[in-house]
Amino acid sequence: MDWSRYWRSSDRPLEAMHAHFERHVYHRHSHETYSFGVTEDGYQAFRCRGGAHTSAAGMVIAFNPDDPHDGHAADELGFTYRIVHIGPELVSGVLADIADRPAGLPLFGSPVVADPVLARNLRGLHAALLGGASALRRDELLTATVGAMVHRAATRRVRAASVPGAVERARRRLQDAYLDDIGADELAAAAGCSRFALYRGFRRVYGMAPSDYQRQLRLRAARRLLARGDAIGDVAAATGFADQSHLTRWFVRCYGMTPGGYRGACTN
């Protein structure tokens, strides 16, 4: 039987989910955050960065911001996992505190890491977030966990500026006006390249077509509105979905819970 619990900070880009899935299949999606998870039981299979991966009990999952991935149970018994979503600005701030100087953003080369120390740190942080630990204790565990993740699993300490100019221009056009009904010709003109070159380059960098990325931007906007308690129908209308059912279908596919469940977890 599938179930999930969600927690969201009221003042920082920090969220956590504890879930068990047997039948749910994640649609290919991405997050604007770093996502660090630990599989507690079973086997979680997913595709990320062009490869197939399986996370077994005790293994750590590390997704960079905008890493496209899907996910499903590898067998009929399902899997249980804990995952923490941490905004890049929060990661950068934690690393700057550790180093006592400005720090760049880390890059995690492998989406699955077998490291019992990191697994233990993540479980401790996650339990503190969902268990109502004090703010001081949460901050201590967050600093320790981010520092350990970077020290033990990051392949590069600073993300390289490797996004082609045309793709970046297209991404900015989508981000600045994600509600617009943008045609392929218009987006290619904004990028300054052909439709084919943009489609190919965008998929290479972000792992999905521009239209799929636009839907991700709309879903992220929906999460922000739901987190402040807006009505689901109003959120659907404000973020470019046809209706509440349309938003709900995509929200469940990408996040493993309904918009109402997410709103309740954020506002209770």
The tens digit of pLDDT for each residue in 42-86 reads: 999 999 988 999 999 999 999 999 999 999 999 999 999 999 999
Provide the phi-psi class of 188: left if phi over 0, else alpha when psi is between -120 and 50, else beta: alpha
CA of 204: how far to CAs of 102, 136, 200, in Å? 30, 41, 6
Bigger pLDDT: 268 vs 265: 265
| Percentage of the chain modeled with pLDDT above 90 | 83
Check: CB of residue 80 under 8 Å from CB of residue 39: yes
Q: Where is average pLDDT lowest: 57-61, 133-137, 230-234?
A: 133-137
Average pLDDT (149-156) is 88
Average pLDDT (192-220) is 93
| pLDDT beyond 60 at 247 | yes
Residues 6+ apart with CB under 8 A from 61: 35, 36, 37, 38, 39, 44, 55, 81, 83, 111, 112, 113
pLDDT digits (tens, 9 = 90+) for 11-39: 899 999 999 999 999 999 999 999 999 99
Looking at residue 20, its pLDDT comes to 98
Average pLDDT (116-140) is 94
Torsion of CA 97, 98, 100, 105, to 10 degrees: -80
Confidence of residue 160 (pLDDT cuts 50, 70, 90): very low
Query: Which domains are seen in the chain, by residue range?
Result: 3-153 (2.60.120.280), 162-207 (1.10.10), 209-268 (1.10.10.60)
| pLDDT beyond 60 at 157 | no
The string of DSSP letters for the chain reads --EEEEEE-SSSSEEEEEEEESS--EEEE--SSEEEEEEEEEEEEEEETTEEEEEETT-EEEE-TT--EEEEESSTT-EEEEEEEE-HHHHHHHHHHHHTS-----B-S-SEE--HHHHHHHHHHHHHHHTT--HHHHHHHHHHHHHHHHHHH-SBSS------HHHHHHHHHHHHTTTS---HHHHHHHHTS-HHHHHHHHHHHHSS-HHHHHHHHHHHHHHHHHHTT--HHHHHHHTT-SSHHHHHHHHHHHHSS-HHHHHHHHH-
Looking at residue 159, its pLDDT comes to 46
Q: Where is average pLDDT lowest: 71-75, 101-105, 123-127, 149-153?
A: 101-105
| Percentage of the chain modeled with pLDDT above 70 | 96
